[in-house]
Homo-oligomer: A and B are copies of this chain.
Amino acid sequence: MMLKIIKILHLIAAGLTYLLALLSKVLVSQKEKEKREQAAEWEAYALSWRVAVEANNVRPWRTVPPECHTHVQTYMSSGQYHSDLDLIVKQILSYAQTLTLSHDGFDAWILDVDDTCVSNISYYQAKRFGCDPFDSAIFKAWIMKGMCPANRAVKVLFDALIERGFKVFLLTGRDEATLGKITTENLHNEGFVGYERLILRSPEFKGQSAVRYKSAIRKAIEGEGYRIWGNVGDQWSDLQGECLGKRTFKLPNPMYFIS
């Protein structure tokens, strides 16, 4: 009798074990499914957000939304960012090809510096690709290393513009007094040689928005008699305001926003 009961209890225990294993398997796969669905939802949102940033629909913004971290990281690191740069540079070069220059030394082109000519991905990588707030001290320390690598595609553009006869102006919001020397050296070391002028932010423009500062500089350049054929930057504030140039091009940047 006792033996029979034990046998039955044993059977029940075995069945229970089996059922619990099955249940935990179902729950785990349910959780994994939810995780996959969440990731897919965030990916769709992040792609929408990135495109909206590029089309200047989102502004201003301080940090990359946390849901977009994986997307922006992948975008910047796994080739799509460089694919984007390549395509835009091709568009710029075919536009430049259509222009009839007068070759009087006044055919000008404006290029921004940070995340246009040279890249700050290294700094932003440590800041979770823009999800963490901007840290001006750490950023300055990074710039002072003079180690910003050239954006390969923009370097190709830079060389082609100079070869074609444009006077290239590099226009940056970097502070002239503290960052002028290292910026000049960094650009030189990365092969940016032969430009007309590197223009940094002098004391009179301190505290001004990028739109205002850069507009004033472009106005002054036009005032000298230059014709600005093209203007390339990674921020919409490079491409808004006055004296924009005959055509502007927006390079991608989902990591930060400057107004």
Give A residues with C-beta under 8 Å from B: 44-45, 47-52, 54-58, 79-80, 83-84, 86-88, 91, 249-250, 252
Q: Name the 3 nearest CB pairs between A and B, nearest first.
A: A48-B87, A54-B55, A55-B250
Closest to A89 in B: B57
For A87, give its contact among B45, B54, B56 (CB under 8 Å). Answer: B45
Q: A52 to B86, alpha carbons, bound, how many Å? A: 11
Chain B min CB distance to A251 (Å): 9
Complex contact B87–A49 (CB within 8 A)? yes
Apart from A48-B83, A56-B250, what are 19 other A-B pairs with CB-CB below 8 Å?
A: A44-B80, A44-B83, A45-B83, A45-B87, A47-B80, A47-B83, A48-B80, A48-B86, A48-B87, A49-B87, A50-B51, A51-B84, A52-B87, A52-B88, A54-B55, A55-B55, A57-B87, A57-B88, A57-B250
Closest-CB distance, A248 to chain B (whole angstroms): 8
Q: Which residues from chain B contact A48 at a C-beta distance below 8 Å?
A: 80, 83-84, 86-87
Taking CB atoms, residues of chain B closer than 8 Å to A84 are 48, 51-52
Report the copy number of this chain in the oligomer: 2
* Residues on the B chain within 8 Å of A88, using CB: 52, 57
A255 to chain B, nearest CB (A): 15
CA of A112 to CA of B84, assembled, Å = 29
Instruction: Kindly list chain B residues whose C-beta atoms are within 8 Å of the C-beta of A83.
Output: 44-45, 47-48
CA–CA, A252 and B84, complex, Å = 17
Is there contact, CB below 8 Å, between B44 and A91? no
List of B residues within 8 angstroms of A87 by Cβ:
45, 48-49, 52, 57
A59–B87 Cα distance when bound, in Å, is 13
A-B contact pairs, 23 of them (CB 8 A): A44-B80, A45-B83, A45-B87, A47-B80, A47-B83, A48-B80, A48-B83, A48-B84, A48-B86, A50-B51, A51-B51, A51-B84, A51-B252, A52-B84, A52-B91, A54-B55, A55-B56, A55-B252, A56-B250, A57-B87, A57-B88, A57-B91, A58-B91
Measured in the bound complex, the distance between the Cα atoms of B55 and A249 in whole Å is 8
